[in-house]
């Protein structure tokens, strides 16, 4: 599984702070102008336009994608539970009114 995020993304940070993603074997790909690798991986999955609209994006092992924050959280909670890994349910779900949760490569 891969979680695509970016710096300063409120929702991305909430997920990273609520789950032990490393223990859950979820790879984190940070989209920024300093590293082309994550952007190439995102493009390989055909998710550039999706990332321009919303982040985070979770790509499952079967290559399907989830870009709805609540569904990502539910999926990660189920995975953590199945692995016996503790996690924190998000009590306050922020939205990205500021636009910080999208990737614009301008």
**Whole-number pLDDT of residue 106:** 41
pLDDT digit string, tens, across residues 2-24: 999 999 999 999 999 999 999 99
pLDDT band for position 100 (cuts 50, 70, 90): low
Query: What are the φ/ψ torsions at residue 72 (nearest 5 degrees)?
Result: -60, -45
Reply yes or no on whether the pLDDT at 35 is more than 80: yes
Name 14's Cβ contacts closer than 8 Å, sequence gap at least 6: 90, 93, 94
Reply yes or no on whether the pLDDT at 90 is more than 70: no
- For the chain, the structural domain boundaries read 2-83
Domain topology for 2-83? Glutaredoxin (3.40.30)
Name 73's Cβ contacts closer than 8 Å, sequence gap at least 6: 15, 18, 89, 90
């Amino acid at each position: 599984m891969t979680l695509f995020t970016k710096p300063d993304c409120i929702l991305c940070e909430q997920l990273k702070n609520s789950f032990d993603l490393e223990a859950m074997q979820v790879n984190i790909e940070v989209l920024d102008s300093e590293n082309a690798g994550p952007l190439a991986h995102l493009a390989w999955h055909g998710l550039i336009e999706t990332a321009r609209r919303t982040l985070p994006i979770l790509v499952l092992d079967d290559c399907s994608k989830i870009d709805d924050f609540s569904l990502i959280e539910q999926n990660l909670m189920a995975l953590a539970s199945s692995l016996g890994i503790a996690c924190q349910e998000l009590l306050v779900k922020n939205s990205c009114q500021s636009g910080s949760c999208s990737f614009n490569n301008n």
